[in-house]
Structure 1
Amino acid sequence: MTDLAGSLRPATPEDWPTFSRALFDVFAEEPPRSFVDAVPAHAELDRSLGLWEDDRVVATAGIYSRQLTVPGAVVACAGITWVTVSPTHRRQGVLTAIMRRQLTELHEQQREPVAALWASESSIYGRFGYAPATWRGNLSGSVARLRLRPGVDAGAGRVDLVGVERYRAAAVGLHDRVRRFVPGNLDRDDRWWDRALRDEPDQRHGATTRRYLLHTEPDGTVTGYAAYRVKAGWTDAGEPDGTVTVEEIRSTSTPAYAALWRFLLSLDLVRTVKAPLLPSDDPLRYLLADPRALHSRPVDALWVRLVDVDRALAARRYPAPIDLVLEVRDPFCPWNAGRWRLTGHPAGGHCARTDRDPDLVVDVEALGAAYLGGESLATLQAAGRVEEVSPGAVTLAATAFRWPLGPWCPDEF
């Protein structure tokens, strides 16, 4: 394992064509030419890892430097990405070496206190201390049944189809405002907006180019935006059977949100609406006359790992006061194992080593699942991931860790 870890090294710009093709080969995908021909602007090669065997890359990994919204705060987050191991090198400790290298360096360099990833397979990352902390709703429904409640206030503003330049100019600032209040949201600088708005023809899967909406108030203030595609379809009887896929929709007010949805639900020749990345508890359900018309099939989204338990827990806020000792179990990152006294309240938190008796015994995966405020520690106790030592400690901790807004991550990476 030591020799293997030592042979991992960052990729260079000269390595990129080989490195990137190896990455896509494992995912059985054809990479966009723009991705292979030049290093993408958002890529951070100094934070990449590759395992070379002669002139072949047999394993890859990378990190994006991101800012993650957590309950009441924003923290630096290591966005783990590009993780692949060639089929020829599976079950040889390669992935373990990559995960250990990444987490150890983050800890030793005192960089991001939290790491996060989107898991291609949900059975892989738990053994490295990651746990799903947000879920995407996979929302869908029939347009015929998705009608807004009578009396829903859609405001006095207007919804316009706009070009990508106008859309971007308005959406950047609006996104930066709203993402700071929703745990699980990530920052987007110019590089990440370039990535979000890229519209490669071979990635459309038969749908239209991406279309853009802005909601504007009578005074000219933009209070909402949406991005969507339409895929035409027809039944055997010649009836229209199109599908609109809503890729993103954000607003700063309920009327703006309602107005954007009213537009999306009235598109010609469309019979089905899909919004795969929206959360299962999206407020759309409560705008509808028939809540059952909106179907949800939740799937795990952002997986979270506390790199340094003390720094991570101190970085977020707690809506209810908490003063408990947590005995953390973390065999993969032993620097986290042991007892930590966590004190917190709505204005801040503090976490430090202690020799006091524990109130709770918890594994690091449970802490990752509960970190963004969406998963209850009481639920995790029922699953055997949390052990209550002091009576009432689970209730206190579950109350303090939850957050009024459910976590949600709309940015895949």
Structure 2
Amino acid sequence: MTDPADLRPITTEEWPAFSRAMLEVFGDEPIGSFTETPPSVAELDRSLGLFADDGRVAATAGIYSRQLTVPGAVVPCAGITWVTVSPTHRRRGVLTAVMRRQLTELHEQGREPVAGLWASEGGIYGRFGYAPATARGNLHGRTRQMAFRPDVDLGTGTVTPADADAYRAGAARVHEALRRWVPGTMERDERWWERLLRDPAEHRGRASARRFLLHTEVDGEVTGHAAFRVRSRWTDDGEPDGTVVVEEVRARSTPAYAALWRYLLDIDLVRTVESAYAPAEDPLRHLLADPRALHARPLDGLWLRLVNVGRALAARRYPAPIDMVIEVRDRFCPWNDGRWWLRGHPAGAFCAPTDGDPDLVVDVDALAAAYLGGVSLGTLQAAGRVTEVSPGAVTQAATAFSWPVSPFCPDQF
């Protein structure tokens, strides 16, 4: 039962069995009404289920319709999610069938030129053409060592605690203002804000309920927001040794950003700060008098897949001119496999199939890694993932594919 024809979208009535099968593979317990009714962000017409002979759900998958910021533009992105295969159906080609069905349909529908996912395991998705395109910093440090440089400007605005409703209203405006400038960022409509702000006790990990901050200027404009938790701890000597678990800090100005972090680092009874999903190149380090006080253990974030190489490369912008032929090797999606003529500059781009001689040869997953500007094609060449045919082509392409803002995706799905 590995034929893609056996995979099909599920119905609302089938959601309870589908969701329970998915949670069982992930090792999660049902929370709230999740296994009773589909969440508001679910798109069951874009789901895939594989049903065993006894009626059990043997495999699950889904797609969210998202909007992804890429260098200089915003493109539709298929958010791949819910991907599981029951142990009873492993090593039968089921996952390959799921991936092929999704990508083939995306190509045929022509809706999204790229697909993205968060990988539960790092060794799974590379063989299907996905690659990490953003990184999360996994930051931590001791708060008493994280004094700011004396020249850091905290501005004239105010940082105040907020309830969930006020936070949602203010943070949504900040997010919308920022998301078009940072590659890897996705839109958040009301459904996604609702999902983001859910706070079941089972997910708190011995920490407090989520707390919220807003940064407001003297004219009342909200220019920054932060969400965090506090995990209390006391040493054997009775000394406080708590941790502030920072989930998100975004701001429209440097003073607002600095003021929010200063508040977080000055919380009483806290000695450690953690921020697993902060950008890998978070500006916080450059606010500190001692940059070594902030430690990072970078991990992969959003994985990307170019569904349609021509449309994807033409959609983004290039800070330096590029005019070359790129030979893309894509064994999983044959419509991408071949040579593509790319012309791009800061105002736009063109990309189409060609029979011209290649300047570069690159695997499709390596091209996906470089797509948002966070991984250099020069680095990929050093790893043997890019072959230079025309002298100087890697330098030219690496410069053109770069972007002044590091990619960052704060939204898991």
- When normalised by structure 1's length, the TM-score is 0.99
> Is 1:50 aligned with 2:49?
yes
Q: Which residue of the partner structure matches residue 293 of structure 1?
A: 293
- Secondary structure, in 3 states, of the residue corresponding to 1:226? strand
Instruction: Find the counterpart in structure 2 of residue 21 from structure 1.
Output: 20
CA distance in 2, matches of 1:267, 1:56: 50
User: What CA distance in whole angstroms lies between the structure 2 residues aligned with 1:86 and 1:404?
Assistant: 43
Partner of 1:263: 263
Equivalent residue number for residue 132 of structure 2? 132
Task: Work out the CA distance in 2 between the residues paired with 1:129 and 1:232.
Answer: 43
Q: Name the counterpart of 2:31.
A: 32
Paired residue secondary structure (1:39): coil
> What secondary structure does 1:238 align onto?
coil
Q: Residue 34 of structure 1: SS of its match in structure 2?
A: coil
What is aligned with 1:4?
3
CA–CA distance in 1 between the matches of 2:313 and 2:33?
A: 40
SS of aligned partner of 1:334: coil
Check if 1:342 corresponds to 2:338: no
Secondary structure of the residue aligned to 2:199 is: coil
Match of 2:79 in 1: 79
Q: Distance in 1 between matches of 2:300 and 2:167?
A: 29
State yes or no: 1:61 paired with 2:44.
no
Shift of 1:200: 0.7
1:33 deviation in Å?
A: 2.3
1:140-155 counterparts in 2 under 5 A? 140-155=140-155
CA deviations 1:7-35 (Å, max 9, x no partner) are 10111110111100100100111121221
CA distance in 1 between partners of 2:131 and 2:370 (Å): 9
**Cα distance, 1:81 vs. partner?**
0.4
1:340-359, CA deviations, whole angstroms, 9 ceiling, x for partnerless residues? 00000000111001111000
Q: What is the rounded CA distance, in whole Å, between the counterparts of 1:135 and 1:94 in structure 2?
A: 29
Secondary structure (helix, strand or coil) at the match of 1:15 reads helix
**1:386, distance to aligned residue in structure 2 (A):** 0.5
2:385 pairs with 1:385: yes
Please give the secondary structure, in 1, of the residue aligned with 2:181: coil
TM-score, normalisation: structure 2:
0.99
* Aligned mates of 2:46, 2:264 — CA distance in 1: 40
The answer to whether 1:91 aligns with 2:91 is yes
Cα distance in structure 1, aligned partners of 2:147 and 2:42: 42
> Structure 1: which amino acid aligns with 2:218?
P
What is the CA-CA distance between 1:221 and the residue it aligns to? 0.8
Aligned AA for 1:307?
V
Name the CA distance, whole Å, in 2 between partners of 1:346 and 1:82. Answer: 37
1:157-200 CA distance string (max 9 Å, x none): 10000111111111111101101100000110100000000011
1:193 counterpart SS class: helix
User: Does 2:250 align with 1:250?
Assistant: yes
How many angstroms apart in 2 are the aligned matches of 1:360 and 1:283?
34
1:117 corresponds to which letter in structure 2? L
Provide, for residues 39-69 of structure 1, a one-character-per-residue CA deviation record: whole Å limited to 9, x for no partner: 1000111100000013200100000000000
User: How far apart, in 2, do the equivalents of 1:148 and 1:344 lie?
Assistant: 41
Q: 1:212-361 to 2 correspondence within 5 Å?
A: 212-361=212-361
Q: Secondary structure of the equivalent of 1:335? A: coil
Paired with 2:145 and 2:10, the residues of 1 have a C-alpha distance of: 51
SS of the residue 1:286 aligns to: helix
Query: Unaligned stretches of 5+ in structure 2?
Result: none
> What residue identity is the alignment partner of 1:138?
N
What is the identity percentage for the equivalent residue pairs of Structure 1 and Structure 2? Answer: 69
Aligned residues between the structures: 412
Cα distance in 1, alignment partners of residues 88 and 373 from structure 2: 40
d(CA) in 2 for partners of 1:201 and 1:115? 32
Shift of 1:151: 2.2
| TM superposition outliers: structure 1 runs of 4+ over 2 Å | none
Q: Aligned partners of 2:75 and 2:286: how far apart in 1?
A: 31
> 1:264 corresponds to which letter in structure 2?
L
Q: Which moved more, 1:198-207 or 1:302-311?
A: 198-207
Aligned to 1:159: 159
SS of 2:19's equivalent in the other structure is helix
Q: Which letter maps to 1:23?
A: M
What is the letter of the counterpart of residue 268 of structure 2? Answer: D
Q: Can you list the C-alpha shifts for 1:276-309, whole angstroms capped at 9, x where unaligned?
A: 1011210000000110000000001100000000
Counterpart for residue 408 of structure 2: 408
CA deviations on 1:232-281 (whole Å, 9 max, x unpaired) are 00111111111111101100000000000110000011011001101121
1:360-375 → structure 2 map (5 Å cutoff): 360-375=360-375
Give deviations 1:121-168, integer Å, cap 9, x for gaps.
000000000000001000000011111111210001100001111111
The whole-number CA distance in structure 1 between the counterparts of 2:280 and 2:309 is 29
Q: What's the secondary structure of 1:263's corresponding residue?
A: helix
Cα-to-partner distance string for 1:297-343 (whole Å, 9 max, x where unaligned)? 00011000000000000000000000000011000000001110000
- Which SS does the other structure have where 1:350 is aligned? strand
